[in-house]
């Protein structure tokens, strides 16, 4: 009898999965739920033609890339599972639960709890693997250098969402993505480019997407409005904690827009017309929104040694520093 296998294929590459533990996890509800969690969260419901892919697609691409760059099995499992604890609407959770940690997101801090609640530890134990061995954010597993590194370095997670987002926005071609991947190497715990031009492509993508999307005023204000609606929905029992943690975007969205509570209805009207309900100002603002700078400053093999792109490209250095300064200023928002 032939052993079961799964073929994974996308812009990130193609691979055949034969490891039983990976197959079981891919088919388990803990992973399948991510098909209903969009990378852009609530944005898809209010911005026309906005679809940047699900967290299931992201996680599968992370697995493909980890295999492409020679990650061992435990790191592959960690990569496949790294996003399963995202709530409905993903990073809206930081606003809902007043999560202030700049290094970790809310889903990172509940990751182990979530995996145990979903009995992922039971699955892993069948294959003589402990849950602690695949927790990517613990110091114990600081060796997952392909998957996880601090900014401004590259890691597989960061590489995937930048390239996938850029592809969906059509600001980079599939061929250009392949050039980036071909020029990127991992050795001795370091990610680096052999071609400065490919390094610059990725670095500029990361700055553009940070300013135009992830750290933009409109995106953060939208998250704020949705979070305010959710807080009221929690108070009334319209949406439960289990809905937020264990269901998907569409279910929570439907509960919000079908609510007859006047406060929720008013807030959801603002959500659906969010651009009309705020302005930026330095005086008399209602909310100061702090933003995370997600710019990548890649290492490049240049002159026989590894150097930051900002150290060998003065133009990129200026762009990088100016972008970082703009993002870290945050946004002073007045609600109309």
- pLDDT number for residue 253: 98
Query: Do the strands 331-335 and 278-280 form a parallel or antiparallel pair, or are they unpaired?
Result: antiparallel
Strands (E), the chain: 6-10, 13-17, 184-187, 190-193, 278-280, 287-289, 299-302, 305-308, 331-335
Residue 139 binned pLDDT confidence (cut-offs 50, 70, 90):
low
Residue 2 confidence (pLDDT) = 53
**Could you tell me the pTM of the whole model?**
0.95
With residue 181 as reference, give the H or E element that holds it: helix 174-182
Give 177-214 pLDDT, tens digit per residue. Answer: 999 999 999 999 999 999 999 999 999 999 999 999 99
pLDDT digits (tens, 9 = 90+) for 24-60: 999 999 999 999 999 988 999 998 877 779 999 999 9
**pLDDT tier at 1, thresholds 50, 70, 90:** very low
What pLDDT is attached to residue 52? 74
**CA 72 – CA 78 distance, rounded (Å):** 10
**With pLDDT > 70 as the criterion, what percentage of the chain qualifies?**
97
**Quick one: which of 36, 135, 123, 148 has its CA closest to 86?**
36
Contact present, 80 and 62 (Cβ < 8 Å): yes
Distance CA 325, CA 329 (A): 6
Handedness of CA 42, 45, 51, 56 (dihedral sign): positive
Question: What's phi and psi for 171, nearest 5 deg?
Answer: -100, 0
User: Tokens 């592809």, residue?
Assistant: 167
- The predicted structure's pLDDT at residue 48: 82
pLDDT digits (tens, 9 = 90+) for 310-326: 999 999 999 999 999 99
Q: How far apart are CA 254 and CA 236, in angstroms?
A: 15
pLDDT averaged over the chain? 94
First to last CA, the chain: 66
pLDDT of residue 50: 78
pLDDT score recorded for residue 262? 96
Task: Give the CATH number of domain 6-217+292-335.
Answer: 1.10.3210.10
How many DSSP H helices and E strands does the chain contain? 17, 9
At 220-259, the pLDDT tens digits run 999 999 999 999 999 999 999 999 999 999 999 999 999 9
> What is d(CA 73, CA 249) in angstroms, rounded to the nearest whole number?
31
The answer to whether residue 102 scores a pLDDT higher than 80 is no
User: 278 near 221, Cβ under 8 Å?
Assistant: yes
pLDDT digits (tens, 9 = 90+) for 285-298: 999 999 999 999 99
């Amino acid at each position: 009898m032939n052993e079961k296998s799964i073929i994974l294929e996308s812009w990130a590459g193609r691979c055949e999965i034969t490891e039983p533990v990976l197959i079981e996890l891919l088919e388990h509800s803990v992973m399948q739920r991510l098909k209903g969690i969009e990378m852009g969260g609530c944005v898809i419901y209010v911005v026309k033609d906005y679809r940047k892919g699900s967290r299931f697609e992201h996680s599968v691409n992370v697995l493909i890339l980890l295999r492409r760059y020679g990650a061992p099995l435990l790191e592959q499992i960690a990569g496949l599972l790294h996003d399963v604890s995202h709530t409905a609407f993903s990073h809206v959770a930081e606003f809902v639960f007043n999560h202030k940690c700049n290094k970790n997101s809310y889903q990172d801090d509940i990751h182990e709890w979530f995996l145990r609640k979903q009995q992922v530890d039971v699955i892993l134990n069948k294959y003589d693997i402990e849950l602690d061995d695949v927790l990517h954010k613990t110091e114990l597993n600081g060796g997952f250098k392909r998957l996880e590194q601090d900014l401004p370095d590259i890691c597989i997670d960061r590489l995937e969402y930048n390239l996938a987002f850029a592809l969906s926005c059509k600001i980079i071609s599939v061929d250009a993505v392949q050039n980036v991947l071909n020029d990127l190497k991992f050795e001795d715990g370091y990610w680096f480019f052999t071609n400065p031009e490919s390094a610059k492509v990725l670095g500029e993508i990361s700055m553009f997407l940070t300013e135009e999307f992830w750290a933009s005023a409109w995106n953060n204000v939208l998250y704020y409005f949705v979070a305010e609606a959710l807080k009221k929905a929690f108070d009334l029992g319209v949406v439960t904690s289990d809905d937020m943690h264990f269901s998907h975007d569409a279910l929570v969205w439907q509960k919000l827009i079908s609510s007859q509570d006047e406060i929720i209805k008013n807030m959801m009207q603002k959500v659906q017309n969010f651009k009309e309900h705020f302005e930026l100002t330095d005086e008399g603002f209602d909310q100061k929104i702090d933003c995370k700078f997600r710019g990548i400053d890649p290492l490049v093999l240049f002159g026989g040694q590894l150097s930051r792109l900002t150290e060998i490209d003065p133009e990129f250095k200026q762009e990088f520093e100016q972008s970082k300064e703009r993002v870290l200023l945050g946004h002073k928002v007045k609600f109309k």
